[in-house]
Structures are given as structure tokens and as C-alpha cells.
Structure 1
């Protein structure tokens, strides 16, 4: 039965291959988008800019709030992904 099914579904192999590639591309894009390291680095750079006087307190607070909100989104995503994998 496995051989017959394999032969009958052979014309769909390119479609399955495209699906596999698309899945890998989406996973890679999600990993990059939800990587907290660049956001944490931006927070460090923002702190440094404030210490050096390149950013005033008001601008610092605005950017910090935005970056912290982004970190919350990333952590929420990671928790959802962890929950889907049964962790």
C-alpha cells in the first residue's frame, strides 16, 4: 500500500517541497522578528545615548516605553510558542 500511495502522490511532490520551503522561510523570519537580542541592545544603546547627553529624558522615556512594549510582545509570543510545543 505504501508503494502504491507513493506512486499515486508523486505528482504532488513539488507542491509538498514548496510547502516545506515556505515553512522553513516563515520559521526563520519569525525567529528573527521575535529575537529579543536586538531590542535589548537598542535599550543599552538608548541608555548610553542618554548618559552621553544625545537623548533627553522625554525622548528616552518615549523610546524606552516602545522598546519595553516590543520585549513584552516577544515574550508573549515565546510563551505561546512554548505552550504549543507542550513545554
Structure 2
């Protein structure tokens, strides 16, 4: 079942982050390897769809993260505008 949430934080150096579920609850950790599009780094408040997996004795983490339709394009457009200066 796909869940949805917004990126709370992402450390590009470590390749780890947290996503806050739309339905509430604790933020879930994820890693760079959990992103469907590893080359595209997530931005804070960007909305993603994701699945969950239980690890380490029942702790949940987000996996298979995918940017929501329209989100990926808007982030790319924003990055392009900032580079143009």
C-alpha cells in the first residue's frame, strides 16, 4: 500500500533523511537507496509516495520513495531558475 508524506529533512552528504506521513505519526527514516530516482535529491516539503518496511525488530522505514506527479517537474524548474540567476 502506498503512503504519502512530505520530506522533513535530507542530508545529501550522508544520503539519509526523514519523511513525515500525511496521515500523521512519527517521521520515518529513509536512505538514498530507497529513492526510486537516486540521482534526484529530495527537497524539504516535497511530497513523495512511499511504501514502508519493518526493520530492527519492528521499527518502520520508508522505501520505494517516488516524487508525486508534478513535484519532480516543479523542482527541476526551480533548480533551473536558480541556476540562471
Q: Could you say which TM-score interval applies, normalised by the shorter chain?
A: under 0.3
Higher helix share: 1
TM-score for the superposition, normalised by structure 1: 0.24
Please say which structure displays the higher CA radius of gyration: 1
TM-score for the superposition, normalised by structure 2: 0.24
Higher strand share: 2
